[in-house]
């Protein structure tokens, strides 16, 4: 039994339907978890790990 | 011996800590590191390499999200390896117990000490969050995967 923060306040997870998944691509790995109360989404959290950074190129231009 | 044309690696690292100034500079009150923040942007926004500073236009909004986003911790000073200078936040960027109902797909890192000037834009698959937490975990801080690199 665990307490889940939802749009309806804190709820016991035994009252909710849990859905979760992982999406992995070249840019990021995303883990998501949803809790549904009947047909209503009441909680969705996302944990994402970034893989692709941004790089600036520093160039020393040739002379002449 | 032979000479080799190059951008000095030390210079790249020194750019990340404000040692060089080729134009009109910034008067700093101390040698302390600047403060940085991370703001989330809607999938319909246009933040990119042309973005010069934080703007609330098309920033996400919702329960428990404060305009401007959250503080970013750079607990490890910039460093160099090989010919690359790099720096990465030392902690995950976390938006706790938020509801962001409109899809978002980008985070802007910006310098909140220096007039909110933009640093970098990072995009990802479109997300929504409902009474939950959005966590961005940082890549390994090295020359090949560090979040911000000058190669």
ipTM of predicted complex:
0.89
Closest residue on chain A to B8 (Cα): A60
User: What is the least distance, in Å, from the CA of A25 to any CA of chain B?
Assistant: 9
Q: Over the stretch B3-19, which tens digit does the pLDDT of each residue have?
A: 888 889 999 999 999 99
What's the predicted TM-score (pTM) here?
A: 0.92
Rounded to 5 degrees, what are φ and ψ at B13?
-65, -40
Q: Over the stretch B71-116, which tens digit does the pLDDT of each residue have?
A: 999 999 999 999 999 999 999 999 999 999 999 999 999 999 999 9
Contact A28 B97 (CB under 8 A): no
Domain residue extents for chain A = 3-50
Regions in chain A scoring below 70 on pLDDT: none
Q: How far apart are CA A43 and CA A37, in angstroms?
A: 9
In angstroms, the Cα distances linking B13 to A58, B18, B68 are: 11, 9, 28
pLDDT score, position A60:
76
- Chain A hits for B128, Cβ within 8 Å: 44
User: What is the least distance, in Å, from the CA of A40 to any CA of chain B?
Assistant: 11
């Amino acid at each position: 039994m665990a307490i889940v923060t939802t749009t309806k306040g804190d709820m016991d997870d035994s009252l909710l339907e849990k859905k979760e998944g992982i999406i992995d691509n070249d840019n990021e790995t995303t883990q998501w978890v949803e809790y549904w109360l009947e047909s209503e989404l009441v909680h969705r959290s996302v944990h994402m790990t970034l893989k692709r950074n941004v790089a600036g190129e520093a160039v020393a231009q040739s002379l002449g | 011996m032979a000479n080799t044309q190059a951008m000095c690696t030390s210079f790249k690292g020194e750019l990340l800590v404000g040692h060089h100034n080729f134009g009109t500079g910034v008067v700093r009150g101390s040698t302390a590191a600047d403060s940085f923040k991370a703001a989330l942007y809607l999938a319909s926004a246009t933040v990119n390499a042309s973005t010069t500073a934080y703007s609330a236009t098309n920033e996400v909004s919702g329960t428990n999200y404060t305009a401007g986003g959250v503080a970013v911790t750079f607990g490890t000073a910039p460093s160099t390896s090989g010919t690359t200078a790099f720096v990465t936040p030392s902690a995950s960027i976390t938006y706790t117990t938020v509801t962001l109902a409109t899809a978002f797909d980008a985070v802007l890192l910006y310098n909140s000490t220096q007039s909110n000037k933009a640093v970098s834009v990072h995009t990802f698959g479109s997300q929504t969050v409902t009474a939950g937490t959005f966590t961005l975990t940082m890549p390994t801080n090295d020359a090949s995967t560090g979040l911000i690199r000058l190669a």
